[in-house]
Structure 1
Amino acid sequence: METTPLPPLAWGMPDTVFDLLEGVWDLDRVIEGKATMAGTARFVRLDAGQLKYREEGRIQLPNGQAFDGHREYVFERSPKGFSVFFAEVPPRLFHDIAIVREGDELVGSAGHLCVADQYDSVYRFRADGSFVIEHLVKGPRKDYLSRTVFKRRGL
């Protein structure tokens, strides 16, 4: 008897996205014209309303130089999605993401002013179970688009 593969992760409704983030994800990032990164992201439950996010990977620059990098955030459940905090003491808000349905995707966006540089971020939770985070950064010190695709490990 032939077995059929499990269906891809379904994100459900905007209020179910937070819980479905928990686990291990493969990540693939492109920072246009500046770098790429391949690695792993982990969402680990801290308590019922918080997930610790840690990404680790290999960063490749256009000149061939490569090095390891990591980043951490804390995601906190909110009524319409989640808030993302820098992993600092005390925590500092990066942005609040309110999730809405757009076709077969769930999408949330927010802005963040970091000194004089504006970060406009979009989170897209796709029908195939993957998700994408894009940060468009504009300002006197920064000008780039970062796009990271996350695919659940093992699917």
Structure 2
Amino acid sequence: MNETVIDGWGDASEVVTRLAGSWSFSRIVTGHVTVEGVAVVMPSDDGAFAYREQGHLTLANGTTLEAEREYIFRRGERGFSVFFKETPPRLFHEISLFASGGGALSGSAGHLCHLDHYQSAYTFFRNGRFVVRHVVSGPRKDYTMVTTYRRQ
């Protein structure tokens, strides 16, 4: 068996394609905010996949705000690349996926944003859900953000 093939997600190169559709998500930014919302992943004409999320962000003091975020995902041979939706698109990180414990596909990458460092990890579970974890540290930022996605 190919070490990058996991039931429900297929081969590592297929993961982005299988993201297409609607997802409910729950995000915790430790000690700062929570976000509940919906993310939609749609194929675009250029072969990429547009990611757009909308949700309700709740601050630690209870204040609730509307939040949204957009990325562009591109398939790779062993995973995918994530770009900020800018003109032109700017690379956030490239994720190579490998089989990990419990029958999941996992991958990680780092990104330097000015002097702050993002260490990101993606885990795609056999049951179809996935989790994205960003650990951010530096002179201006210090937090962990965990987002769990479930197919709608």
* 2:20 is equivalent to residue 27 of structure 1: no
| SS of the residue 1:43 aligns to | strand
* 2:72 is equivalent to residue 74 of structure 1: yes
Paired with 1:117 and 1:110, the residues of 2 have a C-alpha distance of 14
The alignment-based identity, stated in percent, is: 46
| SS of the residue 2:14 aligns to | helix
Is the CA contact (8 Å cut-off) linking 1:14 and 1:101 kept in structure 2?
A: no
Paired with 1:26 and 1:64, the residues of 2 have a C-alpha distance of 21
| 1:64 match | 62
Is the CA contact (8 Å cut-off) linking 2:14 and 2:75 kept in structure 1?
A: no
Give the C-alpha shift of residue 49 in structure 1. 2.8
| 2:3 match | none
Is the CA contact (8 Å cut-off) linking 2:130 and 2:150 kept in structure 1?
A: yes
* 2:19 is equivalent to residue 16 of structure 1: no
Paired with 1:74 and 1:96, the residues of 2 have a C-alpha distance of 12
Based on CA coordinates, which of the two structures has the bigger radius of gyration?
1
Q: Which moved more, 1:93-102 or 1:39-48?
A: 39-48
Give the C-alpha shift of residue 48 in structure 1. 6.2
Deviation sequence 1:75-102 (CA, Å, 0-9, x none): 0111111100000001100000111111
Is the CA contact (8 Å cut-off) linking 2:104 and 2:125 kept in structure 1?
A: yes
- Equivalent positions of 1:116-131 (< 5 A) are 116-131=115-130
| 2:108 match | 109
Q: Which moved more, 1:43-52 or 1:18-27?
A: 43-52
For 1:74, the aligned partner's letter is I
Aligned Cα RMSD in Å?
1.1
Q: Unaligned 5+ residue runs, structure 2? A: 1-6
Aligned residues: 145
TM-score (norm 1): 0.91
| 1:3 match | none
